């Protein structure tokens, strides 16, 4: 049974309608608030077949106003300049063999993992541990690099990753309900445009099938995608 607050929010949204992005966010921000600072999420349904390797949709996008969450970063680097740069940039955890051993033992108290190309030879062995949690460093997302300082700064500043799941869906956090409407709109617009541009060449027909925006405890509001390319 939905909560009283959820039912009240449902009354404020027309479920048969897709709203322009700005209007959808205005509806969302007028919903009754929860007792905590809810995360605002975008959810996409894509016209892709994720089983086909040439229809995988994945990438990163910097949020103009950050994600509003504290991002804990682990950097796998052998001692030296890359490790020192990572610490100076604010990485919470930096190490090599010691950190690999911790992860193998089941530790995963971090949000993003970065690795130098040199360290990846050993870090690859963590595929079965980090892969299912979406924590494996990947060159496509900028998390395998010798420039560890830049990678740490970017993820801490609000660079988010998007990746299509087995059902052809993508979920991305675009801020907090405490953000201004304009901040949420700019963040959401950046993500929608990035996902639109990531359309695989092999996809035929409608690519961006639908998109909704919601807060942690709110009903979803449908976003009209007409203003975005690759629809």
Kindly tell me the burial class for residue 16, based on how many C-beta atoms sit within 10 Å of its own C-beta (0-12, 13-18, 19 or more).
exposed
Domain count along the chain: 2
CB atoms within 10 A of CB 106: 7
Whether residues 136 and 88 share a domain: the answer is yes
pLDDT digits (tens, 9 = 90+) for 125-175: 999 999 988 899 999 888 999 999 999 999 898 888 899 999 999 999 999
Whether residues 104 and 49 share a domain: the answer is no
Residue 152 neighbours by CB under 8 Å, 6+ apart: 73, 75, 86, 89, 90, 91, 114
Q: How many Å separate Cα 174 from the centre of its chain? A: 8
Q: Which of 69, 59, 138, 125 is nearest to 96 (CA)?
A: 125
Provide the domain limits for residue 32: 4-66+159-222
3-state secondary structure of 67: coil
pLDDT digits (tens, 9 = 90+) for 20-54: 999 999 999 999 989 999 999 999 999 999 999 89
Question: Residue 230: inside a domain, yes or no?
Answer: no
Question: Residue 227: inside a domain, yes or no?
Answer: no
Question: Residue 10: inside a domain, yes or no?
Answer: yes
Q: Is the pTM of this model over 0.85?
A: no
Q: Which of 15, 3, 4 is nearest to 212 (CA)?
A: 15
């Amino acid at each position: 049974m939905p909560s009283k607050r959820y039912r009240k929010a449902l009354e404020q949204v027309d479920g048969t309608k897709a709203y322009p992005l700005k209007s959808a966010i205005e509806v969302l921000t007028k919903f009754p608030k929860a007792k905590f600072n809810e995360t605002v999420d975008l959810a996409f349904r894509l016209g892709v077949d994720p089983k086909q390797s040439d229809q995988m949709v994945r990438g990163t996008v910097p949020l103009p106003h950050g994600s509003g969450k504290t991002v804990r970063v682990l950097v796998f680097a052998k001692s030296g300049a890359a490790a020192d740069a990572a610490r100076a940039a604010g990485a919470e955890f930096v190490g090599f063999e010691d950190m690999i051993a911790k992860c193998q033992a089941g530790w995963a108290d971090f949000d993003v993992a970065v690795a130098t190309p040199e360290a990846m030879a050993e870090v690859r062995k963590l595929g079965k541990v980090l892969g299912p949690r979406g924590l494996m460093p990947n060159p496509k997302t900028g998390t395998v690099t010798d420039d560890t300082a830049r990678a740490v700064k970017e993820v801490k500043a609000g660079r988010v990753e998007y990746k299509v799941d087995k059902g052809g869906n993508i979920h991305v956090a675009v801020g907090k309900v405490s953000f201004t409407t304009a901040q949420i709109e700019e963040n959401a617009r950046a993500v929608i445009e990035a996902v639109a541009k990531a359309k695989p060449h092999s996809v035929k027909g409608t690519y961006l099938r639908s998109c909704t925006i919601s807060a942690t405890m709110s009903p979803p509001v449908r976003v009209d995608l007409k203003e975005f390319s690759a629809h």
